[in-house]
Amino acid sequence: MSATLALRIKLLKPETNILILERLDQLAKGISAAWNNAGTGHSALCELNCCLEDRSTAPSIMLQVLEKAFPEILESADGAKKIKKFIPMYNTKITSGLFQEYLKNTKEILKL
């Protein structure tokens, strides 16, 4: 959600410099379900707490986010004209132990 907020601010005040640092006291505390990510510009395909054993819903959630929420944000702030300046924010996961195999399997299953 921080990337979305940063984009909104940048669209409204292009001269603004933004630095985002995040830290929570527990893993995955920032969201509780995939649709809590709706409108944030990312799709939760490999979110460890959103895409559990049944990964079949992740692609449809991703498409809903891409088709509805994020474009509306851009259009509302005249962002469509400025999107070329937008730097994609890739979602990175660092895992260990059993989660490594889980994340590898998830990546393979969700290749679109």
The domain total for the chain is: 1
Position 38 scores a pLDDT of 46
| pLDDT top residue among 65 and 83 | 65
3-class DSSP string for the chain: CHHHHHHHHHHHCCCCCCCCCCCCCCCCCCCCCHHHHCCCCCCCCCCCCCCCCCCCCHHHHHHHHHHHHHHHHHHHCCHHHCHHHCCCCCCCCCCCCHHHHHHHHHHHHCCC
Q: Which amino acid is at 69?
A: A
Q: Give the tens place of pLDDT for each residue, 13-72.
A: 889 898 877 666 665 555 555 455 544 445 555 555 555 566 666 666 666 666 665 666
- Domain with 99, as residue range(s), is 2-22+31-109
Does 75 have pLDDT greater than 70? no
- 95: phi > 0 → left, psi -120 to 50 → alpha, else beta; which? beta
Per-residue pLDDT, averaged over 69-81, amounts to 60
Q: Output phi, psi for 65, to 5 deg.
A: -65, -45
Residue 105 pLDDT greater than 70, yes or no = yes
Bigger pLDDT: 18 vs 108 = 18
Residue 8 has pLDDT above 70, yes or no: yes
Owner of token pair 């937008």: 86
Question: Tell me, what's the pLDDT at 39?
Answer: 45
